[in-house]
């Protein structure tokens, strides 16, 4: 009679250990495995982008969804990453993406909007909260290099999409989840073009 409770305890313990291992493996995949995937995708995108830039004419074609759009550099946080055209789930797994409904950096007015992951898929915007007013941001595209200066940062609700509204001056808006490991809010970085 005592043997039955022992078997139940042993089976329950074994089951809990297996479930615990699976959960830990999943978390490791989310935090580090997705970064390996993104790192490989970023290298392929960078190689293709560099080839296109080297062959580009003055009026380079507008990129298509899923294609490399620009190189985003933020020296203050050691960020140098390829930005894709589009913010579909599959695009953002490969790197930050340009909101397709926003403007292009070579236009004289409007907002360029870029979204990126903060904790998974290479976490390109992991340190975005460390960007301060006055920091420089550069976008290298097939149509040239565009420099921006950070003017403000804000924490907003996910529903506050007005941050991407067109502006009279050429601007850049970077968006990511806030705080880390949560999608409860959005961290927004605003910058104005300086050249």
Task: Evaluate whether 177 touches 119 at the Cβ level (below 8 Å).
Answer: yes
Q: Give start and end residues of each alpha helix (H) in the chain.
A: 3-28, 34-55, 89-94
**Spacing of C-alpha 165 from chain mean position:** 19
What is the pLDDT at residue 25? Answer: 84
- pLDDT tens for the 195 residues of the chain, in order: 567 677 888 888 888 888 888 888 888 877 777 888 888 888 888 888 888 777 765 556 678 898 999 999 999 999 999 999 999 999 999 999 999 999 999 999 999 999 999 999 999 999 999 999 999 999 999 889 999 999 999 999 999 999 999 999 999 999 999 999 888 999 999 999 997
**Spacing of C-alpha 73 from chain mean position:** 12
pTM of this prediction exceeds 0.85: no
SS3 153: strand
DSSP 97: E
What is the pLDDT at residue 9? Answer: 82
Count how many domains the chain has.
Answer: 1
CATH number of the domain that 14 lies in? 2.40.260.10
- List the domain range (segments joined by +) for residue 84: 3-193
């Amino acid at each position: 009679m005592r043997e039955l409770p022992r078997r139940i305890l042993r089976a329950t313990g074994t089951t809990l250990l297996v479930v615990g291992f699976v959960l830990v493996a999943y978390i490791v995949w989310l935090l580090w495995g997705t970064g390996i995937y993104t790192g490989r995708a970023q290298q392929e995108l960078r190689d293709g982008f560099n080839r296109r830039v080297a062959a580009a004419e003055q009026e380079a074609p507008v990129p298509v969804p899923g294609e490399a759009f620009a190189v985003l550099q933020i020296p203050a946080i050691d960020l140098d990453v390829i930005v894709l055209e589009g913010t579909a789930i599959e695009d953002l797994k490969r790197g930050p993406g340009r909101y397709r409904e926003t403007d292009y950096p070579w236009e004289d007015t409007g907002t360029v909007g870029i979204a990126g992951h903060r904790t998974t898929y290479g976490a390109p915007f992991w340190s975005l909260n460390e960007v301060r007013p006055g920091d420089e941001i550069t976008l290298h595209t097939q149509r040239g290099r565009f420099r921006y200066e950070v003017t403000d940062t804000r924490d907003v609700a996910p529903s506050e999409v007005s941050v991407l509204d067109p502006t009279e001056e050429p601007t850049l808006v970077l968006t990511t989840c806030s705080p880390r490991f949560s999608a409860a809010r959005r961290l927004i970085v605003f910058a104005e073009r300086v050249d």
